[in-house]
Structure 1
Amino acid sequence: MSCYCVIFFYQTGKANAAVRGGSTDTKFIRDMEIMSATHPSSALSSAISPCRAAPKPSQLSCRSTIGSTPSREWRKLVLRSRPASATGRGVVTATRAEVSIAEGTELDAISKLSEIVPDSVIFDDFERFPPKAATVSASLLLGITGLPRAKYHSAIDSALAYGRCNTIQSPPDRLSCFLSKALVNVGAELVKLVPGRVSTEVDARLAYDTPGLIEKVHELLALYDEVEVPRDRLLFKIPATWQGIEAASYLEKEGVQTHLTLVYSFAQAAAASQAGISVIQLYIGRIRDWARTNSGDRDVDTALQMGQDPGIALATRVYNFVHKNGYKSKLMAAAVRNKQDVFSLLGLDYLIVPVKVLQSLKESKAVFGEKYAFEPRLTPSAAKSIAFRVDESKKWDQVKFTSELGPMTEEMLATGIESSIAQTRRIEEHFSKIWPPPNV
């Protein structure tokens, strides 16, 4: 008998789906990921890069005094080497802390130092890597609707029959209502499945609209209240624009937990941590990917000149900033690609690790002192000794935030928002084709 399952990817907050029949897997239904999307639209680019054309004197004064931009050969050499643990602008070695690994695996050892989250979950195979948290998004809904007999079909069908949405006369508003209800219905099912929190994607079309983001989260909360999902089990995933950070800060003050996504720069993470945002998600591997073929970003070029992997360097710098200042934010490293990334980030709150890497860690016996060291590379005590520039520790405002983003963040943030919007439009188009359902 054929077995059907859904695969959702927590790493990006998006979803993909595959049909498994017997021992054969079909190709994943892939969404438009940030690194595969086309160039961002001029509207989005101009919205986040008003200061890019001509650097201000204040920007020039804080630029690194390290030599010229690394050559392509040098960039490749650094990016192939083992990442160094970075401080605000230097290197620190964390205090060695051996863990008990008698008869244990590498996965057992690293799980004592960071919370490990699989980046994919096959619903009929929880025993290997049980999910601890989940994200519901437009692309997850696309994955569900793209398969016959997929799990949670009924949750989407019931959203299309939701009475309040069906009374809305405007087609765009009605489709938006269907999307919100479908996200909540599936999110409510995932809450029953995982012990941790479920993050719900907020419409990226509102990425530059602070009141709109707040209103949309309130709408989603009201729908979750209807199905009696406790608010402490929920996060709301918001793009890391300045407007997104403002909205998340307002919501956190109301007691609503938020999850900032598409974070590629210190400016985004520093402003978010000052704003009291619950979870900040950094994309380590994607920063490295950009650095392999691009240059001109101050922070990336500085990390490379110091012999550091720019993604690892950013995560370490942000960790040190958060813990030095006592902010409440938890850090999540996504786009982790290999064991080297994992061991370079031990001590970070959450590591989202590919299943193939987890399988390798699970199959390998932990032998202390050999290829990898089972010790925290990041510790609160070490962070306290790190020095940051005065301007980095002062309260971030919109002008400072915008001027410090850098070309990599501008490009990848805009592209990520475009990709998310494309998924939202796709699922709404699908809803428009199948609405009304037979019983409406």
Structure 2
Amino acid sequence: MADNAARTTSGNALEALRERTIVVADSGDFETIRAYRPTDATTNPSLVLQAAGDARYRHLIDEAMAATPTAGLTRVERLMTLFGRELTQVVPRYVSTEVDARLSFDTDATIRKARALIADYAALGVSADRILIKIASTWAGIRAASVLEAEGIACNMTLIFSLAQAQACFEAGVTLISPFVGRITDWHKKAEGVDHYAPQDDPGVRSVQRINAYAKTHGYPTQVMAASFRNRDQILALAGADLMTISPALLEELRGMDAANAPGMSTQPSEVARVMLDRAAFDWALNADAMATEKLAEGIRRFADDQAALESRMAG
């Protein structure tokens, strides 16, 4: 885990951040990823949809159309694994590949799809230890991840908006979770009629700090990867998190900044006792959190829409 202590480092802010946090590229563009030298890469249908419109990647679409995917996968999902295969040549560690968001409420179907993705990667010559299967953090998704992790299939639980979701993921023994900073902040700005938060008051930043403190206080091995940033201040406020997945635009901003002595992630222990949520407690906690309920549903719909758009493009 990265050292949380604040420090001043020579060079630019991106290099200083790398000393404290594993940097992940939130992009499907291989050339952009090469430019910023991240350790991991994360993909989803939205990112692949953007990259698929680039003529440089037409050969991957052609390969996906010509191939017969592993049983249980569509041509769109073969396209996802082809992008993933290429990304494993660019980053040294994990590449995340997302299960179809339309399966977010079906545990058995999620398990089958995850196994098929791993099998397809094997057929493409990519070892399972290079891949994280990305699953929406519904109750059904978390239960699927528990089964998959027991089989040795590592999972990245996405669309985390609440401590309850994180708690359930920690107890399920998942490899990594992705709390969404910016989308939490967006919701609170609209709900509270606020244009800007200072970093220490930013609801998205505070949510990740709370989740991270809970994980570290109670000794969970699951890594916390902050995601969905809206500005560089959010990133600097969370320096010292296990990982951050950052868009190319914000990576460029950080690379253009002088290194700063950012306060980074709070090291205060969590005051929340360790709990193991059952289905009823999980559902109630999520229901009681209007922001988490709305943003989880919205995120699933958005990923599902982009998956459908990819299918339409591949069919055309």
Q: CA deviation at 1:126?
A: 5.5
Q: CA deviation at 1:397?
A: 1.0
Larger helix proportion of the pair: 2
Q: Output the CA distance in 1 between the equivalents of 2:246 and 2:82.
A: 27
Aligned residue for 1:150, secondary structure, equals: helix
Contact 1:121 1:129 in 2 (8 A): no
1:325 aligns with 2:240: no
Matching residue of 1:363: 256
- CA offset digits 1:130-159 (Å, max 9, x no partner): 233223433344334434x322x2232222
Matching residue of 2:281: 400
Identify the match of residue 301 of structure 2 among 386, 394, 418.
418
Matching residue of 2:191: 294
Which residue type is aligned with residue 201 of structure 2?
Q
**For the aligned residues, what is the CA RMSD?**
2.6
1:228-239 to structure 2, matched below 5 A, reads: 228-239=125-136
Contact 1:284 1:335 in 2 (8 A): yes
Distance change (3 Å), C-alpha of 1:188 and 1:339 = closer
Which residue type is aligned with residue 276 of structure 2?
K
Q: Percent identity?
A: 33
Aligned residue for 2:89, secondary structure, equals: helix
Contact 1:258 1:278 in 2 (8 A): yes
Distance change (3 Å), C-alpha of 1:180 and 1:387 = same
Matching residue of 1:156: 61
Q: Output the CA distance in 2 between the equivalents of 1:178 and 1:121.
A: 18
- CA offset digits 1:22-62 (Å, max 9, x no partner): xxxxxxxxxxxxxxxxxxxxxxxxxxxxxxxxxxxxxxxxx
Q: Output the CA distance in 1 between the equivalents of 2:240 and 2:297.
A: 30
Matching residue of 1:99: 7
Q: Output the CA distance in 2 between the equivalents of 1:219 and 1:315.
A: 32
1:111-126 to structure 2, matched below 5 A, reads: 111-120=18-27, 123-124=30-31
Contact 2:28 2:48 in 1 (8 A): no
5+ unaligned residues in a row in structure 1: which ranges?
1-94, 296-303, 367-371, 434-440
5+ unaligned residues in a row in structure 2: which ranges?
none
Q: Output the CA distance in 2 between the equivalents of 1:158 and 1:290.
A: 40
Q: CA deviation at 1:122?
A: 5.3
Matching residue of 1:387: 271
350-359 or 311-320: bigger deviation: 350-359
Contact 2:28 2:47 in 1 (8 A): no
Q: CA deviation at 1:118?
A: 4.0
Q: CA deviation at 1:243?
A: 0.3
Q: CA deviation at 1:416?
A: 1.0
| TM-score (normalizing by structure 1) | 0.64
**Between Structure 1 and Structure 2, how many residues are aligned?**
306
Q: CA deviation at 1:187?
A: 1.3
Aligned residue for 2:97, secondary structure, equals: strand
Q: Output the CA distance in 1 between the equivalents of 2:292 and 2:4.
A: 34
Q: CA deviation at 1:164?
A: 6.0
- CA offset digits 1:101-143 (Å, max 9, x no partner): 2x43333333222123344475445664123322343334433
Contact 1:273 1:322 in 2 (8 A): yes
